[in-house]
Structure 1
Amino acid sequence: MWFAEADHQALDKEFMAKALAPANDDLSSKPQGKLTNTASPVPGQVAGNIQKMRDFLQDVRGEMRKVVTPSRAEVQSTTIVVLVTVFAFAGYFYLVDSILGRGIQAVLHWMGASQ
């Protein structure tokens, strides 16, 4: 689902982290050693999260309905293409490895190194 620019801006404002700056630069006036629990959920926020979860699951269900299972012929043809490609690359790498290996052995033999 594509959103309009205004929707993107609204989502950015909702989900982007906001920079928190101290009201003044004097940190000594703040109480030290006290921990406050600011993570407690607000009832409206919980209800909003539940609605978002429902919307998400409805979107997932809608997308899953669009999924089409490939036919047997499609699976067979793509499997054959994959196998042929794998064997072609295996043969290519074997050939290149053999040529390079023999070339390195020839250079080492020419330099007087033993096998």
Structure 2
Amino acid sequence: MPTPVSSIRNLGPASDASFARAGITSAEELREMGADAAYRHLLTHGSRPHFIGYYCIVMGLQGRPWNDCKGKEKDELRARFDAIVASVQEDKTAVPLGIEAILNDIGTGLRR
């Protein structure tokens, strides 16, 4: 039986739901993907970017508390986070967010 994503430190029931929407249904899958690939996967499946959420995953996969991320390490994680978000924003196959999703739902088409 797979272990829930929420069994990873720093991640709770809301994480189970977010990862499940992106097709990641177990802690084993998340560990195998790694933090960066899993977070990118979340974003391409409609989750909104949030830096603290990202570094909670990174810290959790290392077995560390979320607030253990400080100084240079936090700055480096911010750069990785920004790069992931930028790559998803350039990805035309990613699920649109915010107003773009609403406009698509009402049929006004893609932003030009």
TM over 0.5: no
Tell me the TM-score normalised to structure 2 length: 0.28
**Structure index of larger Rg:** 1
| TM-score, scaled to structure 1 | 0.28
